[in-house]
Amino acid sequence: MPKFFTARENIKETTLVIDNEDANHIKKVLRIGVGDEITVCDGAGMDYRVSITSIQKSLIECEILERKKCDTEPDIEITLYQGLPKAAKMDYIIQKNTELGISRIVPAKLSRCVVKLEGKSAEEKKCERWQKIANEAAKQSGRGVVPKIAEPMDIDEIIESVKDSDLVFVPYECEEESRLKTLLNTAKDAKRISFIIGPEGGFDALEIEKLKNAGIKPVTLGKRILRTETAAEAVVSMIMYEYDEI
């Protein structure tokens, strides 16, 4: 059954409306009509099986037939701090990690990032576009929660931000001993996990030193060096596997 999203304020006791881009997609692309059933999600973990009662120019009205908690969401919350990569790599990173079940993605302004977001306006514009990519990936993969694309942070802001996490680590190509699998096996009760991925040029030595001083553990992902657009996808897959979520 097709799945779409609507804002929580659009949901009433027995009815809901869809007034976003999904409304046009339903009407013009999928050709779904009055009387057809679809699944609508509030983006916060609740699914609604509904029947379409009215299709207007930019609004679709539905009757709620059933509501239930979405069963596709993992029990753990994963936050990725992603060093800003070049070109369309960030689009790929957001899309694939959303499919895998990530909760939040934070663009990281690290010293070796080639891409620079100059000014608040540029950051907001990029984040708005990235959020749309997350929304689409969440819809296509049957998610019940749309990952939040946060405002970009620098290394000091990241260190402050991860303090609420149960487990924090940084995959680092120069680390040779501490393995991710070993770290995950020692933190089976963790519910909030955060990790930081460097950009194409990797981490600056001073950044790694700051992270270590803050108690953030470097780990190795194996004998091969992964590209920045591959690393996060691999890490989230490993986490989900170790926590029986995949």
Per-residue pLDDT of the chain (246 residues; tens, 9 = 90+): 667 889 899 999 999 999 888 888 888 778 888 999 999 999 888 999 999 999 988 889 999 999 999 888 999 999 999 999 998 999 999 999 999 999 999 999 999 998 888 778 888 999 999 999 999 999 888 898 999 999 999 999 999 999 999 999 999 988 888 999 999 999 989 999 999 999 998 999 999 999 999 999 999 998 888 999 999 999 999 999 999 998
CA neighbor of 184 nearest in space, from 130, 135, 244, 141: 244
Give the C-alpha separation, 9 to 232, whole Å.
33
Give the C-alpha separation, 160 to 185, whole Å.
25
Give the C-alpha separation, 166 to 78, whole Å.
10
CA neighbor of 5 nearest in space, from 43, 51, 61: 43
**Helix-helix angle 228-242:89-100, to 10 degrees:** 10
Query: How far is it between the farthest Cα atoms of the chain?
Result: 61
Q: How does strand 3-5 pair with strand 37-41?
A: parallel
pTM of model > 0.85: yes
Residue 43, phi-psi category: left (phi > 0), alpha (psi -120 to 50), beta (remainder):
left
What sign does the CA torsion over 97, 160, 176, 205 have? positive
Give the C-alpha separation, 201 to 110, whole Å.
10
Got the DSSP string for 146-187? PPEEPPPEEHHHHHHHGGG-SEEEEE-TT--S-BHHHHHHT-
Cβ-contact 195, 168 below 8 angstroms = yes
Cβ-contact 17, 1 below 8 angstroms = no
C-alpha count within 13 angstroms, C-beta hemisphere, residue 104: 18
